Amino acid sequence: MEIDPDIVKEFEELEVSSNKPSEEELKNFDEDSLLKPLNDINKATHPTYTTIPKFFHAPPSPSNTLRQSLRKEAHSLFLQKRSQDLLDNEELNSLWTILEKNCTQVTPLGQQLIGYDDYLKVMKTISPKSRKYLTSRLFAKLQCHSGYPGKVELISIFNYTMRKVWLTQGRIGLSFYDDVGQGFLREIDMENYIIDIIPTLAQISSCVQPSFQSFYVCTVVKKFFFFLDPLHTGRIRIRDILASGLLTELLELRDEESSKESHEHNWFSMPSVLTVYGNYLNLDKDHNGMLSKQELADYGSGTLTSVFLDRVFDECRTFDGEMDYKTFLDFVLALDNRHEPQSLHYLFRILDVQHKGYLTVQTLHYFFKGIQEQIRAVNAEAVNFEDLKDEIFDMVKSKDPCKITLQDLINW
């Protein structure tokens, strides 16, 4: 076994006295006295502290390389042990065979059902690893949603087991990239994860060029953070990644064959990524790798008003007044998913000119003036603002008849 060089270096820098302790010093040595200052700090005066166990352990500081290395090694061993408890394909096939052998009833439609007595037989027959998934509680939960009194479909039990295995496998895989060990992934952690799984994505690995890989990874990671980190904390919870369904959408690209329609609706597919990146390059008229306000005005059908664009560049992160690719991805995701709460949060921040947390009639009129300019430019029929304003408030049905909040829009 190879010893971590950081640990070796830590031990090399330890200062050890070469003086042999005297008999009197050894006699008076009190091990507890060394821990007394720490124990005094940990002592709590509140009576509940004697019964409530400590549940928060602060991670070691980055400067403490020895504890950092120890934590990473322990974390890695823990995840490896959890991986060994997962069912492999052979064990899943064996489970299905046992379930079929103990089938209680087959309906005229071909649905295989199992009663609780036969379910108990299955629990005794299967391996100890499988027994962790098939419990009496599981049967009771599935029975609540079953249309057959006292019986459960075999496929429901098997699908639950497969999904449980997949979620645990996904959590373990993502946890290997959790350097802090607190159940979160930073942007750099997520990028490393995507880079490592690209070879397993048959639809991506076969066509992605090394020069384009960084742009592909950036496009993929941005969707995860746009939907799972709307407050821009810089990290997302692993449990949120698994629950969101985004990871499932990404891993669908493991299948070598898929329809053209699935490519169009999957943000992570190569055609979709190339379309977004191609739009960015087409808008970049001066080829400086950034988008100015004038260049972004040509986005889509070119109907974005100057007033709206001014607010976009006021609120979004820019570099010398120009937008980079990451900021452009946020913009695209918000406009393409306007009914999602995260997109509404993004757009509301742009519309809330005075940062009051709500939109008023004056706010709507401010943006309507930009629309009016475009209407006049194409000689179209004028629109009455009062009619438009009344229609907006009638549709949103805000709690306050004079204000529209973000929550009003989300509830709409």
Q: Rounded mean pLDDT of the chain?
A: 86
Domain identity same for 244 and 313: no
Domain identity same for 161 and 215: no
Asked if the structure places residue 54 within a domain, the reply is no
Given phi > 0 = left and psi -120 to 50 = alpha, else beta, which region is 232? left
Last residue of a domain, one of 137, 168, 199: 168
What pLDDT score does 9 carry? 67
Domain identity same for 251 and 361: no
Domain identity same for 307 and 279: no
C-beta atoms surrounding 203 within 10 Å: 21
Tell me how far apart the alpha carbons of residues 408 and 398 are, in angstroms, rounded to a whole number.
Answer: 5
Percent of the chain with pLDDT over 70: 88
**Tokens (6 digits) for 191:** 């990028």
Percent of the chain with pLDDT over 90: 47
Per DSSP, the three-state class of 132 is coil
Domain identity same for 138 and 198: no
Domain identity same for 116 and 95: yes
Asked if the structure places residue 387 within a domain, the reply is yes
Domain identity same for 310 and 251: no
- Write down the pTM of the prediction: 0.76
Last residue of a domain, one of 168, 197, 231: 168
Domain identity same for 138 and 112: yes
Asked if the structure places residue 331 within a domain, the reply is yes
Asked if the structure places residue 2 within a domain, the reply is no
Cα→Cα distances 100→56, 147, 155, 204, 259, Å: 46, 19, 10, 37, 33
Q: Is the CB of residue 245 less than 8 Å from the CB of residue 251?
A: no
**Tokens (6 digits) for 330:** 């946020």
Domain identity same for 293 and 400: yes
Query: Domain containing 192 — which CATH number?
Result: 1.10.238.220
The domain total for the chain is: 3
Query: Domain containing 403 — which CATH number?
Result: 1.10.238.10
Asked if the structure places residue 236 within a domain, the reply is yes
Q: What is the pLDDT of residues 283-297, one digit of tens each?
A: 999 999 999 999 999
Domain coverage including residue 369: 289-411
**Tokens (6 digits) for 121:** 């037989």
What pLDDT score does 374 carry? 84
Domain identity same for 403 and 334: yes
* Non-local CB neighbours of 244 within 8 Å, separated by 6+ positions: 224, 227, 228
Q: What is the pLDDT of residues 23-63, one digit of tens each?
A: 777 666 665 555 555 455 555 566 777 788 877 777 778 78
pLDDT over 90 (residue 238): yes
Nearest to 327 by CA among 359, 299, 363: 299
pLDDT over 80 (residue 332): yes
Asked if the structure places residue 51 within a domain, the reply is no
Asked if the structure places residue 201 within a domain, the reply is yes
Query: Domain containing 164 — which CATH number?
Result: 1.10.238
Per DSSP, the three-state class of 185 is strand
Question: Which stretches of 208-324 are DSSP H helices?
Answer: 213-228, 238-244, 246-251, 260-265, 270-283, 293-296, 306-315
The owner of tokens 């330890």 is 14
Q: How confident is the model at residue 7 (pLDDT cuts 50, 70, 90)?
A: low
Domain identity same for 108 and 163: yes
Last residue of a domain, one of 283, 313, 348: 283
Cα torsion at 215, 221, 227, 232 (round to 10°)? -100
Q: How confident is the model at residue 269 (pLDDT cuts 50, 70, 90)?
A: very high
pLDDT over 80 (residue 113): yes
Tell me how far apart the alpha carbons of residues 283 and 295 are, in angstroms, rounded to a whole number.
Answer: 6
Domain identity same for 399 and 298: yes
Asked if the structure places residue 320 within a domain, the reply is yes
What pLDDT score does 231 carry? 84
